[in-house]
Amino acid sequence: MSQLLQQLINGLSIGSVYALMAVGYSLVYSIMNFSNFAHGGVIMLGAYFGYYYLTSVGLPFPIAFIASALTTCVLAVIIERGAYKPLRERKAPFLYFIISAMGTSIFLENIVIATIGPTFRTYPEVLSRTPIQLGSVSIGRLDLAMFIISAICLALLVFFIDHTKMGKAIQATAYNIKASALMGINTDLVIIVVFALGGFFAGIAGVLFGMKYTVYPQIGVITNKSFIAAVFGGLGSLPGAVIGSILLGVIETITSGYLSSQYRDLIAFVLLIAVLVFRPRGLMGKVTEDKA
């Protein structure tokens, strides 16, 4: 029983990191209908910025945290301007966006390898590693912090989308970008805001990830999992991204805990395929035909 509880907590904490990463994919997808694979690269840069703000610049943790989120926020917008806007203006097919996104992601990974170096780096210890004991179950302080930070960020995001004018504009653009433009919504600005939001979350996710594990140029590989979680929950849907991520985290831990860790990815992804076969739009996705 205590093992089940422990595994659930493990799953929740892994899932909450997936969730922070997954909302970035979902936000962009909801507006532009393509999967922004450069997101993984931005998360990786977020982890590196956080590391350097903490060690080389010597900022206190909360400031370094916000600073790296803001930096990746700007970076995400620059990527949009450089890699996607020219394509948008030329009304390029969606496939080109995806290829451009993959290119950017490989570019970011390799520029880090070429400039900073390929070896991983370790964050200084910000939170004590001694876990909080609740009976026989132990919860890492960092996991708790991650869970709370993710929850706050996601709550703020939902509030922003539902209760601000810009949020309404995002919803309208997500529904139909051409009609929204005709109604006088500045869709170009909406796109910038969406990328900025995605970038901000990428920074937060990157720093949290770097603190928990390590920082290395191939972090993007892990973010593939969060992309899959986003598809699982329904690309384009924020609650879907969160639920998909948490579910994936829990399924993974339960599989490795009770069956075998070797079956973890196998079972998680068979389930994913099953969901997509029977419910192609994911658990909570909006209904569209042209998915890429």
Partner 1 sequence: MFKKTLALLLVSLMIVTLALSGCSKPATETGSQAGGADASAGDVIKVGWMGSLTGDQAVWGQCELDTIKMLFEEINAKGGVLGGKKLEVIGYDTKGDPQEAVNVAKRLTGQDKVVAILGPNASGSAIPIAPVLEEAKVPDIATVATNPKVTVLDGKVKPYNFRVCFIDPYQGAVAAGYGYDVLGFRKAAILYDVADDYSQGLTEFFEEFFTTKGGTIVAKEAFKFGDVDFRPQLSKIKDANPEVLFLPVFFKEAALIANQARELGITAPLMGGDGLPSEQLFTMAKDAVQGTYIVNHVDYDDPEVQDLKSRYKNKYGKELELNGYLAHDAVVLLVDAIERAGSADSVKITEALETADVKGVTGRIKIGKDTHNPEGKEAAIVKIEGDKYVFQQKYSAKLD
Least Å distance, CB 128 to partner 1, is: 10
222 binds partner 1 (CB under 8 A): yes
Residue 119 interacting with partner 1 (CB under 8 A): yes
Among 265, 269, 271, 283, contact with partner 1 (rule: CB under 8 A): 265
Please report whether residue 117 would count as binding partner 1 according to CB under 8 A: yes
Contact between 6 and partner 1 by CB under 8 A: the answer reads yes
Q: Does the protein bind partner 1 through residue 120 (CB under 8 A)?
A: yes
Print burial letters for 151-169: b (CB count within 10 Å at least 16), e (below 16). eebbeebeeebeeeebbeb
x/- binding map, residues 197-216, to partner 1, per CB under 8 A?
Answer: ---------------xxx-x
Which listed range, 35-43, 45-53, 116-124, 173-181, lies at the site for partner 1 (CB under 8 A)? Answer: 116-124
Query: In angstroms, what is the minimal distance from the CB of 160 to partner 1?
Result: 30
What is the closest distance, in whole angstroms, from the C-beta atom of residue 269 to partner 1 in the complex? 13
253 binds partner 1, rule: CB under 8 A: yes
Q: Does 96 bind partner 1 (CB under 8 A)?
A: no
Nearer to partner 1, 92 or 166 (CB): 92
The answer to whether residue 167 forms part of the interface with partner 1 (CB under 8 A) is no
Residues that bind partner 1 (CB under 8 A): 3, 6-7, 10-11, 14, 82-83, 86, 103-104, 106-107, 110-111, 113-114, 117-120, 122, 129, 131, 133, 138, 140, 212-214, 216, 218, 221-222, 252-257, 260-262, 264-265
